[in-house]
Amino acid sequence: MSELYIGLMSGTSMDGIDAALVEFKNSQIKLVSSHSHPIPKSLKKSLRQLSLDSTEASIDMLGEADTHLGLVFAEAVKSLLNEAGIKAEQITAIGSHGQTIRHRPDLQHNFSMQIGDANRISYLTGITTVADFRRKDMAAGGEGAPLAPAFHQQVFHSEKENRAILNIGGISNITFLPKDDTLKCFGFDTGPGNMLMDAWIQKHKNKSYDNNGLWAASSTPNQTLVNALMQDAFISTKPPKSTGREHYHLDWLEQQLQQEHCELDENQIQASLCQFTSDSIIYAIENFLPEIDTLIVCGGGAHNSNLMNHLSEKLMQIRLASSEDYGIHPDWVEAIAFAWLAKQTINNKPGNLPAVTGAETAIVLGAIYPA
């Protein structure tokens, strides 16, 4: 018997909402249809202000953004269903990650806040919605992230080789999948993914991202700057660990440039940011992972040829592959993961991996908002 779920993902890059319609049949997972939905500019501006320590952010802004984003998520679901020719009553549940506006696992009273009102989503779509996945893991002593590794284990595990799944979104995270079932799967955030490169090109070229890494490839990285950025404490912190926009953002970058008294042109800085992302990933693989045979890459960064070239040059002993080689397009892995997490919750099954998040136990995640 097959079931249909929808996964909604709005990542740290805030470049849009990914909506995935997923069929689960026994152990088979199939992407039936997908839809990319824009986030209105006014809402995106509010989300960025809320995710930073902006003086313009307020409780009213938070409340309105939560409601507005819930409405946009519902629109994304309706568009997806319309394009797929599927009725709402055919969907078992929606899994909505929400938009992270603050992730602070480092505080004494730690918290992680994702918004996008699930009440609005469930009411307007007529579909049961699962949301707020991170906080139960934090209640159990974990960092609440990353959550995709449990899904990675389900889909990409092999008994023949050690694999790692590298997701390069706004933030990069990695999952280690040992071929030996007696060893634990684990994962963590490695540092910035596309976030700093996106912020720099947005400021200087008014583009949302560096297509294929062409701007970065037009110049040469400054090794002094890259070395300075690699001194950031998060890079060398041992896992479990997670981070987000509240740490890596444009103001943080400009502070680093000021401290290093950098007199570099904009092109060279973009090239250096690409290498920083690459080097931070390589550092994580070399220092925190056992030996791996294959690195499977997904997320928007998989399309950045310059970044992928950096990785392949430094990881010559490891086979690099796209998640598409294993049946899942790199743009949709995360959204499919949240459809899977919703299924886990609906079936009263754990969705976290304690070895990944640091939680005391595997636990059922999320809150259910009935249709």
Query: Is 9 assigned a ligand-binding role in the annotation?
Result: no
> Do the Cβ atoms of 50 and 101 come closer than 8 Å?
yes
> Do the Cβ atoms of 275 and 136 come closer than 8 Å?
no
Query: Is 11 assigned a ligand-binding role in the annotation?
Result: yes
CA 197/CA 310 separation, integer angstroms: 15
> Do the Cβ atoms of 244 and 196 come closer than 8 Å?
no
Query: Is 113 assigned a ligand-binding role in the annotation?
Result: no
Query: Is 301 assigned a ligand-binding role in the annotation?
Result: no
Report which of 181, 120, 173, 147 is spatially closest to residue 364, judged by C-alpha positions. Answer: 147
Query: Is 15 assigned a ligand-binding role in the annotation?
Result: yes
Query: Is 197 assigned a ligand-binding role in the annotation?
Result: no
Query: Is 14 assigned a ligand-binding role in the annotation?
Result: yes
CA 55/CA 102 separation, integer angstroms: 15
**Core vs surface per residue 263-302: b (16+ CB within 10 A) or e:** ebeeebbbbbbbbbbbbbbbebbeebbeebebbbbbbbbb
Which residues line the annotated binding site for ATP?
11-18
Which residues line the annotated binding site?
11-18
